[in-house]
Structure formats: C-alpha cells, structure tokens
Structure 1
Amino acid sequence: MTTLALVGSPLWYGSRAGGTLALLLLTATVVLGIASGGRASPRRIGRFEIGLLHRNLSLLTLMFIAVHVVTAVLDPFVHLSWAVSVVPFGASYRPLWLGLGTAAFDLLLAVLVTSALRHRLGVRRWKAVHWLAYAAWPIALFHSVGTGTDTRLPLQLWLYAACLASVVGAVWWRLAKAGPERVVGRWVATVAATAVPVVLAVFLAAGPLQPGWAQRAATTTILLGGGR
C-alpha cells in the first residue's frame, strides 16, 4: 500500500469535504424551512426573500452532494460504481452506511424534480413530497457519522453536534409557536426531535467512538454486501 493510500488521496479529501459541507448546507436548509413555516414565519422578511434563500441553499446542497458523490466514485480506493449513487445498499464497500447516503440523495432528488413540476402537480402533492427533505436530514446525518473515518475527530463531532442542535432547536421553537391544530404533526415532530438525539448518542457511544469501528463496519460490509 502506498503512502498516498495511507494518508488518503485528494479525491478522498474532496469527498469528505464535499459531504461535510453538504450536511451543513442541508442542515441550514432544513432549519430555515422549519423556522419560517406556519405561524413561525418572520414578519419583517417577505416570503419571497425567504423562499429565494431556501431555494439557493437547496441548490448549493445538491451541488456539494454532487461533488461528494463524484469524488467518491472516482476515488480508486473504494471502487464504487456510478449506480451506487442512485441505487441504495448496492455497494460492496460499507453498503449500509453508503446506502443511507444514497437514500437521502434520492429523497432530495425527488424534492428537486417535484419542485420543478410544482405547477403541474399542485400544491398539496408538492408539499407531500417536499416533506421528504426533512426525512433526508437524519438519514444523511447517520450516513455521515457511520461512514466517516474522521467521526472521532473533535472538530467533526462538534460539527455534528451543531447540526443536531440547530435542527432540534428549530423544531422545538416551531412547536412552541404552533397553534392547537395539526395534533398528529406536532406529535410526530415531538417524537422525532426527542428520538433522533437519543438514538444518535447511543449509536456513537456503541459504534463509531469505539476502537475498531472501521473493522466492525467492514464486517457489516461482508455480511450485507458480499464483499471481500
């Protein structure tokens, strides 16, 4: 194995940087969407400006996801095919964790396509699909935590903590501003805002923060993906 393979190739660093920036941008997009909806919508800023910022953040997120995917596929160390970028859980390298990232990407693509066809689909159908963006965020977070070989680095952990705190804080703030209607939606948001931090903390303590996580993830790869 060459020294370059030991320290990571430029493509590997590009993939990790693109993935981290994509997660940060997705977090900002989700926080903005949560904090600016319904009764929580700010009074001093027009909906047009908020919508434009939300759209631009979404496009930036997809751009950095594209960088993340392209550099990961081109990196010769993991030998990923282009099909892995759209077909979840089909990779021979850590299929579970990479599959989560692919699933999140597919959800965001569905939001992008339906947004382009918004006038043909109608507002109700578009909103139903648009909620997938909120589901994509925790999936992307667990993908990053489970796959990332730098998860144990303090800076990376602080980034994950900031993303989690931002989204959970936005959810609780939105719940505080919400009216008595939509009881089911408020219960779902409450359960999610409580469960995601707990599950993530347990997963980190039992998995990526423990010694030998890379080998354990490789074992999962062999069992699920039939890899070497």
Structure 2
Amino acid sequence: MDKLEENQRSALLFTVVFTVIILVASVWITRVISPSVTQANMMYWLIDRSAGLISYELLSLSMILGLSMSSGLWDRFGRRNFAKQLHHFSTLLILPFLALHLIGLLGDASIPFTIANLLIPGSATYQPFLTALGSLSLYAVIALIASTYLRQRIGQKTWRTLHFLAFPTFLFVTIHGLWLGTDSHSLIGILLYVVPLAIIAGLVMERIDRAKSKQKAKTTAA
C-alpha cells in the first residue's frame, strides 16, 4: 500500500469526521430521547456488531485486492490503478470502524469492558483469549498502516516483511469474529466470514503455486 494522494487523504478525513458525527448523534439521541440503560446498551451493541463486521469485510477486501494485484489479475483488465486505490481506501477505512467497534464495546454495560481490557491482550475477564486476538489484530492493523507511511525510512525489505502481518491478522480476526460475534450464529453471518476466507485461501494457494513454478523454472534454467 503506497502513501495516499492528497485527494485520497481528504476523502478519508471526510469519512472519519462523518463517522464521528454519526456516533455522537446516535449517543445523543439515545440519551435524550431514550435514556434507559437497556436502550442505551442495545444501541451500543448494534454499533459494536455493525462496526465489527464492516471492519472485517474491509480487511477482507483489502487482502483480496492486494493478493489479486500481486498475481497480475487487474493488469489483464487494465484496472490496476483502480484496484490500488480501492486497496488504499479499504485498508485505511478499517481504523474508524475499529474505533466505533471499541466504543460500542465500552458503552454496552451488559458486558463491562474497560479501555485496558480492550487494549491490553489477555486482561479481559470475558473470553480473554478471543478478546486478546482482537486486541492483537488492532495493533497489527495500525502497524501495517504506519509501516506504509514510514516505508522510505524503514526500507522496502522491512516494509514487505511487516506486510506479511496481514495473514495472521486476518486469521486472528476471523477466529475472533466467528467465536465472539453474535451474527456468526446465523447462516448469513457465517457466510460473511467463510466466503472471504475461501477467496483469500484460494488466492494464497495460487500465489504459492506461482512461486513454486518460478523456482522450478529457475532451477531448470540453471
């Protein structure tokens, strides 16, 4: 993921601001019109669920685009630049939705979480292992995005190595969502996890086969 152009940064800033406005408006409306604890918990629960699923689908889209670009798929259709920009946006937009996901968890008093529970892996009393996977994934996403902006300083090799964090991150988030997510108990919810997982697994296998073919060709030529 290369550094965003000015127009892309502006679009991202607008999205983040718009997301915050929606959050603040939702909290205000709930507290003023329906201030009961039960209704407030329901609102935060919905924010948690929706933001978590959107974050997962954005991560899935980012990985699918990244893997398909490396295979040259988009070059065949002359749409590499489009795929590249969409890859940029889908990765960066994970952050505001992760923020909404955390705020939803903090606001829902039915399962009390502290900021420390969400940010320190293993400190939560509720499903500590699965919650820790979510915390680790949060840091991994931040590291991936930060490495892009520090690419010139850390070098291409380090950047590429850090980029491989995307694979365990996706696995962690998939486990986290499937076992903790409320929607994973429905068929549609399961498909929202299984379909991206299957596509990414297929692209990874294709990438491995391609690497083996290149290595075999080099060995034969030698």
Q: TM-score range by the shorter chain?
A: 0.7 to 0.9
Q: CA RMSD in A?
A: 2.5
| Corresponding residue for residue 169 of structure 1 | 202
The superposition leaves residues 80-107 of structure 1 with CA deviations (integer Å, 9 ceiling, x where unpaired) of 1112333211111111111111111111
**Unaligned ranges ≥5, structure 1:** 184-228
| Corresponding residue for residue 177 of structure 2 | 144
CA contact (8 A) 1:35 1:171 kept: no
* Structure having the larger proportion of residues in helix: 2
Query: Following the alignment from structure 2 to structure 1, what is the Cα–Cα distance between the partners of residues 84 and 103?
Result: 29
| Corresponding residue for residue 126 of structure 1 | 159
1:43, CA displacement in angstroms? 3.8
CA contact (8 A) 1:39 1:178 kept: no
CA contact (8 A) 2:59 2:170 kept: yes
Q: Residue 18 of structure 1 aligns to a residue in which SS? A: helix
Query: Following the alignment from structure 2 to structure 1, what is the Cα–Cα distance between the partners of residues 71 and 188?
Result: 34
| Corresponding residue for residue 22 of structure 1 | 55
CA spacing shift, 1:157–1:171, aligned 2, 3 Å: same
1:172, CA displacement in angstroms? 3.0
Query: Following the alignment from structure 2 to structure 1, what is the Cα–Cα distance between the partners of residues 181 and 41?
Result: 13
CA spacing shift, 1:41–1:122, aligned 2, 3 Å: farther
| Corresponding residue for residue 155 of structure 1 | 188
CA contact (8 A) 1:27 1:163 kept: yes
Q: Residue 9 of structure 1 aligns to a residue in which SS? A: helix
CA spacing shift, 1:46–1:39, aligned 2, 3 Å: closer
1:51, CA displacement in angstroms? 2.9
Equivalent residue in structure 1 for 2:112, among 72, 76, 79: 79
| Corresponding residue for residue 128 of structure 2 | 95
| Corresponding residue for residue 56 of structure 1 | 89
Letter in 2 for 1:85: L
**Unaligned ranges ≥5, structure 2:** 1-35, 217-222
TM-score with structure 1 length normalisation? 0.71
Query: Following the alignment from structure 2 to structure 1, what is the Cα–Cα distance between the partners of residues 187 and 41?
Result: 19
Identity %: 25
Q: Work out which of the two has the higher radius of gyration on C-alpha atoms and give 1 or 2.
A: 2
Q: Residue 151 of structure 1 aligns to a residue in which SS? A: helix
TM-score with structure 2 length normalisation? 0.72
CA contact (8 A) 2:121 2:133 kept: yes
CA contact (8 A) 1:151 1:157 kept: yes
Letter in 2 for 1:75: D
1:69, CA displacement in angstroms? 1.2
Q: Residue 113 of structure 2 aligns to a residue in which SS? A: coil
Letter in 1 for 2:122: F
Query: Following the alignment from structure 1 to structure 2, what is the Cα–Cα distance between the partners of residues 158 and 176?
Result: 26
Q: Residue 69 of structure 1 aligns to a residue in which SS? A: helix
